[in-house]
Structure 1
Amino acid sequence: MLTSRPRRGLIGALALTLGVTGLAVATTAGVASAAPHFDSPPAVQVGWVDSATPKTAYQADGDTNLPLGTRVDDAGKTHTARVYATFDLSRYEGKKIYEGKVFVQEHSAADCTKRAVEIWRTKPVGATPTWNKQPEPLVKLDEEGSSTYCPRSLAFDVGAAVQDAVAHKQRRVTFEIRVPEQYEADPSYGRELYWYKNVELSVSYNSLPKVDSEHLYNGGFLCTQLKPYPRIGGFAGLLQARGTDADEWDSPRTDFAIWPTGQPEQRTEFSSDRGTFGRVASGTVPAGVLVDGKSYGWQARVGDGADTSAWSKKCFFTYDGTGPTAPAVSSSNYPADDTGQQAPAGEPAVFTFSGMGDKDVAGFQYSWSGLGAAGVCEYSGEYGQLVCKDPFSKPGTVRAATPGGSATVTLNPTGSGPQRLTVRSVDAAGNVSAETVYRTFVPSSTPQIRVESGTPQWGQEVLLKFLPATGVTDVQEYEIVLDNAQPETRQAEADGTAYFSFVANNPDGHTVRVRSHSGNGFVSPEATWQAYFLPWPGVRSDVYPDSGEPSGGVGVTGTFTFSPPPGGTDTAAYRYSFGGDGELTEVAADSAGRATVTWTPETAGWVTLTVYAVRADSTVHDYPNWYSFQVAAAS
């Protein structure tokens, strides 16, 4: 008899030596695994009963081998033992069970030439029973009678019991392991089961994949069964379906089927192995299947490598792969440039687009700056699906009054000089026609911008005046954007002018964009004004400006005012020198960061004033100002 107890660290090697098979396979989170999956459900109880103590239940304690069959103790008393094990199956509710196996490891046998072990399913129990209150046996599941290798691992097929329990939503299944009735009283069939292995249940299962029928898309639009079926153009061949699977790491295979309505025998199926469960998978209808003007039905299903869902509900659409006729474009007040005339200043343009009687024309798309790619589709859906909007939800579109009819729009030009308005027809499926280009000449109508506060200086207020362009009348207000801030408005005075002021507080300079709004609805193109600041301290002098012209004179005292460099809010002083050869003189700045000094020249000619801005911590700003001026000679 084998009675020694191997150390825990040797159990893995022992299991291999003893030929243990069918053990559950562990998977690492984050790594895709193929269905079906293996799992070991938790035990509710494992223990045994003993005929010699019929009112006592023996719970496996993780240290004592489990007796099985009959043995006679040293006192001559007979003990017959049976092992019970109960497992929690609640995690498999709604899942498909492929197989179940119970594993035990023999630790010792009374006679290795004799082995007879059965496993039964009984009514489930919540705790280890006693001999007198054993649960009712339901069905024998498997048995092991081979005497090869001893002791060894025993594996029992209990798949039918696990399948039945899960199918009937029974959260527990109990197994009885015993020696067959005809041998149970024979001590030579007795044995012990190894405490370390205990009784283990391995379950092979799969969560059934499903198609989410609320998230089926084709050509960027949600599945529909309502007539008239939607007309879909460029992306009509893109079918998308969202599959779900409770097994997190399964990878889907999505099958699509499409057929002409009323002709199910012409069904075409194709598949996609890309994607993940929870997101949509995309399939492209094979070339040559879709015929312009025909309606189609389609559906999808998903599989996970082990099971496949039922086909989804049916979806329908009509394929429209032909673009409409190019439009005719005319204007009542903006003459085409081949007439030799120009558009009026300050007046909105009125254009009429015609579908030329082509009933496929549902409306028009237009732009002064070119139309670019057609369509309003993007992969922006919650589950990664393509989302296409109504083509007339896009800016710069207008519906025709009737199919193939016309539409009139009022537009403001975005520039002056030769201008091009590009127009194309759009059908209900989003297909577009060739482009029609209307050329016209627009006079300049951008407002004028004047600086009223002198040369802009950093940290000082800047005052701008806006004036209407020549020919632009009845200006009501100006729309102003300072740098990239939100637009502001200023009401115009009776003469069409307005003022705008701001403090120059950006070291990198400022940009002002402005356009006028007239009472007739005309909005001018933008005018732009910019100011940049040199990165050194400012110097100003009324007597000795840096104009390059002689000024002042020998003995004529000049005043020089220093201002902080852009961003120099911490300027505390200035160091300066006239002529550049002498020592630097320091003068403190006032609370506004400015300082004023006087200087009287002793000779005529060019002079360079060097000025450094000094911070409060005595460090000097990076760039000095070399201010050059010319002292006038005596007359």
Structure 2
Amino acid sequence: MSLGARVRTVLASVGGLGLALGGAVAPASAAGGVPTTPTQLFNAYRHCSTDADRPTYVWAGSGLVVEGIPATTDASGWTSVGMRYQVWPAGHPEQTTTVTRTSATAGFESPATLPAEALADGQTYAWQAQTLAGDAASDWSAPCYVTVDNTRPANAPTVSSPNYPPDTWNEGGEPVRFTLGAGGAGDVEGYEFSWRQDLPVIGTTIGDHGIPEPTDPYADTRWFMRADSLGGPATLDLVPPGGSGPMTLTVRSLDRAYNPSATASYSFRVRSTAPTVTPVGPAPEFGRAVTFKLRPDTALQAKSPVVGYSVRTLGGQAGERTVEVPAEADGTAETELTLDGLYGQQVEVTSRSANGWVSDAGRWSITYDTTPTVGSETYPENGTGGGVGVPGTFTFSPKVKDVVSYTYSFNGGDEVTVDAGAHHGATVAWTPDTAGWSYLTVRATTGSGIELPSYDYYFTVAG
């Protein structure tokens, strides 16, 4: 799972970039125009901070990726330039480390990696960039300030809930209130959480001209929550996944560099809040529309009124299908479904409350036999009768309504279709030419074109 689009890899190897440490290296080739100060500065794919009192916190355990867009006054297009980066501990410009990228393209982000050995954990640094073109160099950009944080929060967060305790079955119907604590880690900025064990990955998409598009992960409240204060708690109100039974929320804390802590989890149990699903009127039959009454769980309705239902049907001619049904003021609803599954049908219904709660599914199902009934006086089913050259008649009658024809074959031969009569039945004649075991396969077709399952009728022709 990722936040936004997948992170794109924009750095090649150091050798492939044409990078060099030190300040005396010129770009690989001169370019026309006068170099201008780089723009669109980023560090670790996050925005540059030009406020020394509010640095960007970054992980730099394997070095720090810095980047900017070089430019010149030559507007002719793809101009070859270079980029130079300098970094120093804040307040100590005499301790400068320089990295030069000798091959870059004006107008496009040109990343380089500041070496990890020049960046101490916990230290704040300033860095800046300039464009190189031939023997000329632009003015330096304004410094960007970063604080290196290579240390994850020391402790896993604490997780508790006042309204869904862990050691009992809880009545569902209202969001779960969670209180998240930093577990004594003073640099926690926020928390990420998930009802699954996998937690979100914070990524940055790359836009036109290679410009990163960082976002604030805490803006996505499905997965992230900012702490009330640095190292402080946070409160969540979450609706658990639809269903009943055991539930687990997985949580970890994040420091300002988005370093994650160890994970913690909170498990609890929820009783069923499923609605009831009841057919109204005569006994349901294949091929007929049936009205279903949907009623909410009483305790659920008392906590927050049910405003709608998702009705999922399985086994019908249309395959799996879901329709949304609005509820009345009392939380009930009615919906009409046609039962056209060849062997039966299942209906699953979940309710949705005004406060966002989604229940587990209430279920109703039916099975039925839609094969035709087959009979013969001369050649009884699973018996012996008639003989070679002795004609026999076979009657077909339906178990369901609206049958208009039958398709049959003897002993796997060519299929023949006959129309159904006034009472939706049919009679066919057959004369065997060999003795022994035989079989008749028959299926019916309805007026709406549904071919029903076949029935195999076995019998023995007397020798």
Residue 175 of structure 2 is matched in structure 1 by 348
Contact 1:259–1:296 (Cα < 8 Å) also in 2: yes
Distance 2:249 2:185 in 1: 22
List per-residue Cα deviations over 1:46-92 (Å, max 9, x = no partner). Answer: xxxxxxxxxxxxxxxxxxxxxxxxxxxxxxxxxxxxxxxxxxxxxxx
**In structure 2, do the counterparts of structure 1 residues 423 and 557 end up closer, same or farther at CA, with 3 Å as the change threshold?**
closer
Distance 1:371 1:384 in 2: 29
Give the alignment partner of residue 316 of structure 1, picking from 145, 148, 152: 145
Distance 1:367 1:240 in 2: 33
**Which has the greater radius of gyration?**
1
Contact 2:292–2:334 (Cα < 8 Å) also in 1: yes
CA RMSD of aligned residues (A): 5.0
Letter in 2 for 1:230: P
Residue 334 of structure 1 is matched in structure 2 by 164
Give the structure-2-normalised TM-score. Answer: 0.65
Residue 59 of structure 2 is matched in structure 1 by 234
Q: CA deviation at 1:451?
A: 7.1
Q: CA deviation at 1:422?
A: 1.1
Unaligned ranges ≥5, structure 1: 1-97, 99-203, 532-537, 565-572, 589-594
Give the alignment partner of residue 498 of structure 1, picking from 324, 333, 336: 333
Contact 2:159–2:179 (Cα < 8 Å) also in 1: yes
Distance 2:262 2:362 in 1: 35
Distance 2:406 2:64 in 1: 75
Unaligned ranges ≥5, structure 2: 1-28, 313-318, 376-380, 382-392, 431-437
Contact 1:331–1:350 (Cα < 8 Å) also in 2: yes
**In structure 2, do the counterparts of structure 1 residues 492 and 242 end up closer, same or farther at CA, with 3 Å as the change threshold?**
same
Give the alignment partner of residue 577 of structure 1, picking from 381, 391, 408: 408
Q: CA deviation at 1:609?
A: 1.4
**In structure 2, do the counterparts of structure 1 residues 502 and 251 end up closer, same or farther at CA, with 3 Å as the change threshold?**
farther
Q: Secondary structure at the match of 1:280?
A: coil
Letter in 1 for 2:357: V
Letter in 1 for 2:350: R
**In structure 2, do the counterparts of structure 1 residues 350 and 232 end up closer, same or farther at CA, with 3 Å as the change threshold?**
same
Distance 2:423 2:419 in 1: 8
Q: CA deviation at 1:528?
A: 9.0
List per-residue Cα deviations over 1:253-294 (Å, max 9, x = no partner). Answer: 322111112111111111345664322121122012222333
Q: CA deviation at 1:427?
A: 2.9
Distance 1:334 1:292 in 2: 41
Contact 1:539–1:562 (Cα < 8 Å) also in 2: no
Residue 220 of structure 1 is matched in structure 2 by 45
Distance 1:503 1:384 in 2: 55
Distance 2:363 2:132 in 1: 63
Distance 1:455 1:323 in 2: 63
Contact 2:192–2:200 (Cα < 8 Å) also in 1: no
Distance 1:209 1:480 in 2: 62
Distance 1:481 1:244 in 2: 59
Distance 2:279 2:103 in 1: 62
Residue 109 of structure 2 is matched in structure 1 by 280
Distance 1:304 1:528 in 2: 71
Q: CA deviation at 1:446?
A: 4.2
Q: Secondary structure at the match of 1:265?
A: helix
List per-residue Cα deviations over 1:194-251 (Å, max 9, x = no partner). Answer: xxxxxxxxxx9723444442x1111233333235323323368221111235343444
Distance 1:346 1:489 in 2: 19
**Identity within the alignment, %:** 28
Does residue 297 of structure 2 align to residue 297 of structure 1? no
Q: CA deviation at 1:381?
A: 3.1
List per-residue Cα deviations over 1:406-433 (Å, max 9, x = no partner). Answer: 2222222224333221122223333332
**In structure 2, do the counterparts of structure 1 residues 488 and 266 end up closer, same or farther at CA, with 3 Å as the change threshold?**
farther
Q: CA deviation at 1:436?
A: 1.2
Letter in 2 for 1:421: L
Residue 439 of structure 1 is matched in structure 2 by 267
Q: Secondary structure at the match of 1:424?
A: strand
Contact 1:575–1:613 (Cα < 8 Å) also in 2: no
Give the alignment partner of residue 515 of structure 1, picking from 340, 350, 368: 350
Distance 1:511 1:223 in 2: 57
Give the alignment partner of residue 258 of structure 1, picking from 70, 77, 87: 87
Letter in 2 for 1:285: L
Distance 2:358 2:444 in 1: 45
Q: CA deviation at 1:477?
A: 2.2
**In structure 2, do the counterparts of structure 1 residues 308 and 498 end up closer, same or farther at CA, with 3 Å as the change threshold?**
same
Q: CA deviation at 1:396?
A: 2.6
Contact 1:364–1:400 (Cα < 8 Å) also in 2: yes
Does residue 224 of structure 2 align to residue 393 of structure 1? no
Distance 1:503 1:488 in 2: 16
Contact 1:478–1:514 (Cα < 8 Å) also in 2: no
Give the structure-1-normalised TM-score. Answer: 0.49
Give the alignment partner of residue 411 of structure 1, picking from 229, 234, 238: 238
Q: CA deviation at 1:491?
A: 0.8
Contact 1:511–1:528 (Cα < 8 Å) also in 2: no
Distance 1:271 1:486 in 2: 60
Distance 2:320 2:135 in 1: 57
Q: Secondary structure at the match of 1:608?
A: strand
Residue 71 of structure 1 is matched in structure 2 by none
List per-residue Cα deviations over 1:111-164 (Å, max 9, x = no partner). Answer: xxxxxxxxxxxxxxxxxxxxxxxxxxxxxxxxxxxxxxxxxxxxxxxxxxxxxx
